Each structure stands twice: as structure tokens, then as C-alpha cells.
Chains A and B, each alone.
Chain A
């Protein structure tokens, strides 16, 4: 080993040790827990079992899993549908104002997640702003039950994660080679065709990165369903929370956590493959 490599490794060592001890080891412990049996009074017993993973596919829990996938999927789709035009509009703005627009698009993302979620309680509440506005415009029926619904949960997720998707798509769009679009137009393709055959495929890495981010964070989310779903829409995150803090079934909670990690790793691998394939296409297009 060269002395430079040794020095580099030495610099990385404290952080690697910290992450190893407090992230990798705990994750390995709960991986092991996932295969153990729950003790009679909480706690765990050292009997190997696959029962915890079988329970994940039990109809009762499978339903919660599917609800989570549906809510996370819809939130992802909506976030991309809003973020793409937004990122495109930022790209159309003058070069000098683009960083400023981007900064203000991302700023809410760094403010408190709980507070941003709470803001939607104020808006959607039965006595909230939207119901009041409706009344002000002459609506006289019962106040709408907007809060504590699947729609409220999805709205909250889209609202919280939108800034990141805008950022991811913008970074793909701004690197796009304008000549390719001109070439497509010169060759007679219409605006719509150019978008779907050239622009969209070339910005797929950004869309994938943003989409995977929203999906992974949404499916494991526990705050938004608890606050905007009113506990009526349990998602996997809430189930993990319950197993550890109320039901005291740590092995089952650990198994659920491992399922979340597996989903995350699977999607990240898929995203890495997709972006390398698409960037390969870009190169081909640029050379050919």
C-alpha cells in the first residue's frame, strides 16, 4: 500500500468507524432480530424462525403494505407531474435568475418537516382555511372532511418532497444538449414528438432519481400518515413504530424494517441501471 493510500484511509477511518458502529452494526442486529422469536413478555427468544417474514404477507399486513405502495406510488407520480413542468420553467428563465429560483424552490425542503405537515392541518381542517374560503364564496353545506383522508396524506407527501424532485429534474434538464432538440425540430419532428422522443428520455436519470427518492421516503413515512391520515391510514412506517413502541414485538418490527431496506436497495439499483443505460444512449446519440 502506498503511503498516500494509507494517509487517505487514515483520514476516512474515524467516520467509517462511527458509521460502522452506529449504522451498520445496528442494522445487522435488527436483521438478526427479524429471524428470532418474540418473547412471552416482549423481549426476544433465541429461536430461529421465518415466521416474522411470513406475517408480512399475512392478508392483514399485506393490505397495509399495498396501501403504502399505492399512497407512495401516487405521491411519486404527482410529484413528478408537478416537478417536471416546474423544472422546465426554471430552465426557460434567464440564466442569471435560475440559481435564485432553484434556491427558493428548495428552501422549504430544509425547513422543519413537522411544521410543513402541520401547515396542511391548518388548511384542510373542518374549521380550516379552505372550508372557510368555500363558505365565504357562498357554499352552505356541511364543511368538507378534507383532513384525515388518503388525499390529505398524498398531498402532504407531495408537498414535502416536491423541492427535491424539482432539483433532480432541473439538474438533468440543464445539462441537456440544446443542439439535439434543434436537430430533432430541423428534421421535422413536432414539439410534442421532440419532447417525448428526445427531451424526456434524455432527462430520465433526473426523473428516476427524484422518483425513487419520493417513493422510498414516502413508503417508510410515519409522521404524515399519523398527522394527516389521523391514524386511519396505517402505512408500513406506522406499523414498525407500533411494533417497537406499543405492541412490543421487536422481531416482527425488525422484519418490516428489513422489507423497507430491501425495497430501498432494489429501487436504488434499478435507478443506477436506468441512469447508466440512458446516459449510454446520450453518448450514442452525441457520437452518432
Chain B
């Protein structure tokens, strides 16, 4: 018994240490964002001044707007394409290795390589780079993640209800909208939220495909230049907001996924 007790204690200790390692750096940033002096050296009282100055920084607001536009369009396109790909892959009779590799590649390809490859493509085609080229590029990895979330749902999907619907005389279109789609919907939304957070946070590919000039700068690009050229305490406030939004999107996504699994 003493053995089991010791095992439990060791387990707890490891969990505390690892979660401490994962969350302390983030906690420090959040705490600093409310520090009046903005410095990690002294705590000079609670204040929202960095959030207020953030709200008055037109560069950041502009970048945030661009990020939102890119993420919304990329998510919409990727959700449709990724869901269709998932259905196509799961309804096939035989698994296609080429298709599997193609759907997996965007998740593992080094982003710097994809970034320079896209830059080369767009400059070869003489496309003026901007928000639209970032959207096109983000759809690549967004759709792969949507596809994998929806496929996980399809694996537990009882295809006999589709057959039943067809046997009872429903057309394949009716069957899709009345049977398949409602069952898949939570997974589709979960995948879309995941795609949205990925797109909001993506830096390297956006950096290479945004073209020259500041007009199509996104939030991660703005954060990168703030980190590189002089750290201002505003960045702590910005970091807190960005992390809060991502965490909220993920909580909802996770909750939806769980909801459907237990149903």
C-alpha cells in the first residue's frame, strides 16, 4: 500500500512541475500586462493603462483588422473544402495512399519551406501579394486540420442510416442535408474554430506572402516587429488578449467535440 501511495505522490509532483513549466511563463505575461510600471522588476500596482494605450494604437488596430479578415475568409474556404475532402476520403471503398499523404503533408511540411515556395509561385505568376494571397496560403493547412477533425467524426458514423434514408426514397442531396450534415455539424464547427485560431496565430507564411509595405501586415507580424525592435509593455496586454481569444475558441471547439462523442 505504501508503494501505491508513493507512486501517487510521485505522479502528482511530476504533474505540478510540468504544468508549472507550461503555465508560469504565460502567467507572468498576463500579470505584467496589469502592472502599472510595465517592468518585470517592480510591481507598482494594478492598472489597465497598457490596455488603454493599446486601444489607441492605430497600427495594432489595423493589423488586428487584417488578421480578422484573413482568418474569416481562410476559415470559410477551408471548412467547405476540408469537410468535402473528409467525406470523400471516408466514403471511398479503398484507402488511397496518395490522398492520405496529400491530406497529411500540410500538417508536417516545415512552414519556412511552404512560405518560400508560395513566395516563389506568387512572384512567378506576377500576382500582387496582399491579404488575398495570405488567405490562399492559410487555406492549405487550415483545410488539412478541418479534414482530420471531421474524419475522426466520420469514423464513428453509422453509414447504415444513410442507406436507410436512401431506401425510404430520399434523394442523395436530401439525405446529405437531413442526415449526414446535422450529424457532422459539431465536428465541422470544431474544425472551423481550430482553423480560425491557427490562421490568427500564423506568422511565417503570412510574412512571406503579404507583399511589400505595411498595408497588409497581420497581428503576428506586428507582434514580431514589436519584439524585435524594442519591447514595449503594450505587448503584454496584446499577448493577454490574443491568448484569451485562442483559449476561448479552443474551449468551445473541445466542448463541441466532447458533446458529440457522448451523444
A contact residues vs B (CB 8 Å cutoff): 2, 4-5, 7-16, 18-20, 22-27, 29-30, 33, 82, 85-86, 88-90, 92-93, 99, 101, 103-105, 107-108, 110-123, 125, 127-129, 132, 159, 162-163, 166, 213, 216-217, 219-223, 226-227, 237, 240-241, 244, 250, 253-254, 257, 260-261, 264, 268
Assess A103 versus B14: contact at CB under 8 Å? Given A4-B91, A12-B89, A22-B140.
Answer: no
Q: Is B61's beta carbon under 8 Å from chain A?
A: no
List the A side residues contacting B108 at CB < 8 Å.
213, 216, 264, 268
Q: Which residues of A contact B89 (CB under 8 A)?
A: 8, 12
Distance in Å from the Cβ of B263 to the closest Cβ of chain A?
A: 16
Which one of B120, B143, B198, B220 has the greatest number of beta carbons of chain A within 10 Å?
B120
CB pair A8 B250 closer than 8 Å: no
**A261 and B113 within 8 A (CB):** yes
For residue A245, give the distance in angstroms from its CB to the closest CB of chain B. Answer: 8
Q: In whole angstroms, how far apart are the Cα atoms of A119 and B30 in the complex? A: 10
Identify which of B7, B14, B23 contacts A85 (C-beta below 8 A).
B14
Given contacts A22-B136, A110-B197, contact A216 B116 (CB under 8 A): no
> Are the CB atoms of B15 and A90 closer together than 8 Å?
yes
Whether the pair B18, A118 counts as a contact (CB closer than 8 A) is no
- For residues 51 through 95 of chain B, which have their beta carbon under 8 Å from a beta carbon of chain A? 80-82, 84-85, 87-89, 91-93
For the complex formed, measure the closest distance between the CB of A50 and the CB atoms of chain B, giving whole angstroms: 20
Q: A114-B224, A122-B32 are in contact. Are A15 and B85 (CB under 8 A)?
A: yes
Tell me how far the C-beta of B66 lies from the nearest C-beta in chain A, rounded to whole angstroms: 16
For residue B40, CB closer than 8 A to chain A, the reply is yes
CB distance from A39 to the nearest CB of B (A): 14
Shortest Cβ distance from B171 into chain A, in angstroms?
Answer: 13
B190 within 8 A of A: no
> Are B88 and A9 neighbours in the complex by a CB distance under 8 Å?
yes
Contact of A240 among B29, B113, B197, B243 (CB under 8 A): B113
CB atoms of B106 and A260 under 8 A apart: no
Indicate whether B2 reaches chain A with its CB closer than 8 angstroms: no
- B22 and A30 contacting across the interface, CB-CB below 8 Å: no
B109 within 8 A of partner (CB): yes
List chain B residues, Cβ under 8 A from A129.
28, 40
Across the interface, do B247 and A107 meet the contact criterion of CB distance under 8 Å?
A: yes
Supposing A107-B250, A122-B32 touch, asked if A86 and B92 sit within 8 A by C-beta, the answer is no
Most chain-A CB neighbours within 10 Å: which of B10, B18, B227, B243? Answer: B18
Q: When chains A and B are docked, how far (Å) is the Cα of A121 from the Cα of B228? A: 11
Given A114-B203, A125-B40, A223-B204: A108 in contact with B23 (beta carbons within 8 A)? yes
Q: Contact at A22–B250, with CB atoms within 8 Å?
A: no
User: Per-position contact with A for B221-236: 1 when CB-CB < 8 Å, else 0?
Assistant: 0011001100100010
Known A-B contacts A11-B85, A112-B246; the reply to A89 vs B25 at CB < 8 A is no
- Between-chain CB contacts (< 8 Å), 24 pairs: A7-B91, A8-B87, A13-B88, A14-B85, A18-B139, A22-B118, A23-B105, A25-B121, A30-B116, A82-B18, A92-B11, A99-B258, A104-B19, A112-B201, A112-B223, A118-B29, A118-B223, A118-B227, A119-B25, A159-B25, A244-B119, A250-B120, A257-B113, A260-B112
B210 at the interface (CB under 8 A from A): no
Counting contact residues on chain B (CB < 8 A from A), the size range is 35 or more
| Cβ–Cβ contact B147 & A15, under 8 A | yes
Across the interface, do A105 and B18 meet the contact criterion of CB distance under 8 Å? yes
Flag if A8 contacts B117 (CB, 8 Å): no
Name the residue on B nearest A85 (C-beta).
Answer: B14
Interface centre among A9, A19, A33, A114 (most CB of B within 10 A): A114
Let me know if B160 is at the binding interface, CB within 8 A: no
Q: Given contacts A241-B112, A264-B110, is CB(A86)–CB(B14) below 8 Å?
A: yes
Kindly identify which residue among B113, B114, B139, B201 contacts A113, using a CB–CB cutoff of 8 Å: B201
Q: Which of A4, A29, A82, A166 contacts B124 (CB 8 A)?
A: A29
Given contact pairs A257-B113, A264-B109, A8 touches B92 in the complex (Cβ within 8 A) = yes
B81 x A119 contact (CB < 8 A): no
Q: Are A220 and B201 in contact (CB under 8 A)?
A: no
Q: CA separation between A166 and B15, bound complex, in Å?
A: 12
- Please, which residue of chain A has its CB at the minimum distance from the CB of B242? A112
